Amino acid sequence: MGEVLDLVGRSRAPQLRLRLVGAVVFTLGGRMAGVLAPLLLGKAVNILAAKGPAAAQVAWGFAGLAAGWALIRFLSQAGPNLRDIVFGPVAQAAWRRAGADTFAHALSLSVDFHQTKRTGTLARTVDRGARAVDVLLRVLAFNLGPTAIELVFAAIVLTKAYDWRFGLVALATVGFYGAVTFAISNWRIDHRRALIEAESRASGQAVDALLNYETVKAFGAEQRTADGYEDALVDYARASETANVSLSILNIVQGAVMSAGLGVMAIIAGMEASAGRMGVGDVTASILILTSLYAPLNILGFAYREVRQSIIDMEAMRALKGQAPDVADAPDAIALTNRHEGGADLTFEAVSYRHSARTEGLIDVSFHAPAGATVALVGPSGSGKTTLVRLALRLIDPQAGRVLIDGHDLRHVTVASVRGMVALVPQDVALFNETLASNIGFAKPGATEAEIWAAAEAAELGPFIQGLPDGLNTKVGERGLKLSGGERQRVGLARALLADPRILILDEATSALDSRTEAAIQQTLRRARAGRTTLIVAHRLSTVADADEILVIKGGKVVERGDHNSLLAKKGEYAALWRKQTREA
């Protein structure tokens, strides 16, 4: 609950303290009015039953008490609604703060985390954890807590107004009701947890299949995938049936306890009335007070289950937030500036890195890319080229050695300033399900349409966009799948050019282009590289023949380095790759 209160304090809801006080007043006032209202009705009935006063006096006395009962009953029902009006913005602000904080933290986690996560399951963890805050606030603060206060107040009123036995029956009935409810609800927790897990598995499986529908179709696995989802739904249906049966048992037991309590209260009241110590209206009032206590108790099992489930959801959210990002700003981190003429020095000093899922990684890699220079990385797949790119972007930190930009160790530089200086054009460009303008402009918030057009034309996208009915407002589909691979790469290139970085990383940036378009894009890239430091990852050696330095990576090590001509003269790994590719060409 402390975490929930902290979120409320950080919610920045308007008039927070005033709203909290108002919510408490309306809640407690409504509950106390609900206990007092039956007393007035009881007095009104007693007046009707009395034989002494004149008929006119009886009528006016009854009318006054009945009107008071109606007013107080209205106040008891209006209290919760007024509370919701006053407290609603606070609950929404706390829910929004929890969701936004968790989502931002999830985005800050490492590449390895996001490569192994299930998107659907992660999304539900964030959503359920945020909604758990709202449930805990409403159920604990404005249901279970006020109900306990109302019970004590009702017991005092019954004892003072009638007899101590009435207060004892009320306390005993509600106490036994709560104990039975909590016991059965604890038994149901495992059923509920199994239901939630089955639902999460089914949801995660569905999202995973929908995100990778091309793979499903390519292997003709539509029916197989649908069958797998149906199996997950069968598990969910089985868990749901078990949960529903246990819920019915809970409701039956709760009804038995409530009926027994009301019966005992009615018997005691009837005996007191027959002995002349209570009026007929007092019998009615005592039963109504107990009945008013039962109204919020009807959802006690639901409330208890929701609280337990919310605690579980918050634990999942807390576990997610407890995962520290592998890359984070140091306390003394400085910000590098991107507003600087020319490129930036990029240096790798004895860098080593090994992924947990690989048998080998980078081993003692060192090289220096002076400002404005072009350095190419070539070598077989799995040799460590992509890892070098991630290190330059500071998506990961080296396990040994240093990566420096302009002489600054990236671990002592803010992540945001590094990403502002470095732009990546990946082999597989990921696009949002938005317009072309939004995807290109993502690199530069607030970019004008003219700037976006200039970047698009620089990436040879101008004729393609002009041929579209909606132009830059064309939606590209989920992950950009409405575009071809080459079109996505050109959008990625336009996005990088719009960012105007000091270091440009091209990771097979033209691999999906035809030879004619690639030749045009290579000219564009040569112009884009001017005045920038460029790191190129390439399989086709012809695209990097003009690089200032070429590093041949094999087995995580730099086995050769030099320019194109000197590497050919060495007749080593690079020369063998060149001969193979030219022979195939």
Beta bridge partners of 302: none
C-beta of residue 324 within 8 angstroms of C-beta of residue 318: no
* Whole-number pLDDT of residue 511: 65
Task: Give the CATH number of domain 2-322.
Answer: 1.20.1560.10
pLDDT digits (tens, 9 = 90+) for 198-217: 887 888 788 778 877 777 87
Among candidate residues 457, 334, 314, the one with its CA nearest the CA of residue 4: 314
Per residue in 267-294, pLDDT tens?
A: 887 777 777 777 767 777 777 777 777 7
Residues 6+ apart with CB under 8 A from 415: 327, 328, 329, 394
DSSP H/E element including 221: none
> What is the rounded CA–CA span in Å between residue 316 and residue 314?
5
- Side-chain half-sphere exposure of 287, counting CA atoms within 13 A: 16
pLDDT for residue 520 = 66
Q: CATH classification of 373-379+415-584 is 3.40.50.300, yes or no? A: yes
Which of 94, 89, 101 is closest to 136 using CA atoms?
A: 94
User: What is the predicted pLDDT for the residue at 348?
Assistant: 92
Cα 285 to Cα 293: distance, rounded to the nearest angstrom: 12
Domain boundaries, the chain: 2-322, 373-379+415-584
Kindly report the three-state secondary structure assignment for every residue of 449-517.
HHHHHHHHHHCCCHHHHHCCCCHHHCECCHHHCCCCHHHHHHHHHHHHHHHCCCEEEEECCCCCCCHHH
396 touches 110 (CB < 8 A)? yes
Cα 117 to Cα 110, 125, 445, distances in angstroms: 11, 12, 28
Give me the average pLDDT of each 10-residue run along the chain (585 residues).
58 68 75 72 67 53 65 71 73 71 69 59 69 72 71 76 79 83 79 80 81 76 86 86 84 84 80 73 75 70 70 71 72 74 84 72 88 88 84 86 89 86 83 88 86 86 86 83 80 86 82 65 73 85 85 88 89 86 68
Which residue in this structure is represented by tokens 């009638």?
162
- Give all strands of the β-sheet with 362-369 in edge-to-edge order: 362-369, 346-353, 400-405, 408-409
Q: How far is C-alpha 146 from the geometric centre of its chain's CA atoms?
A: 31
Q: Is 399 in contact with 387 (CB distance < 8 Å)?
A: no
Phi/psi region, residue 341 (left: phi>0; alpha: psi -120 to 50; beta: rest), is beta
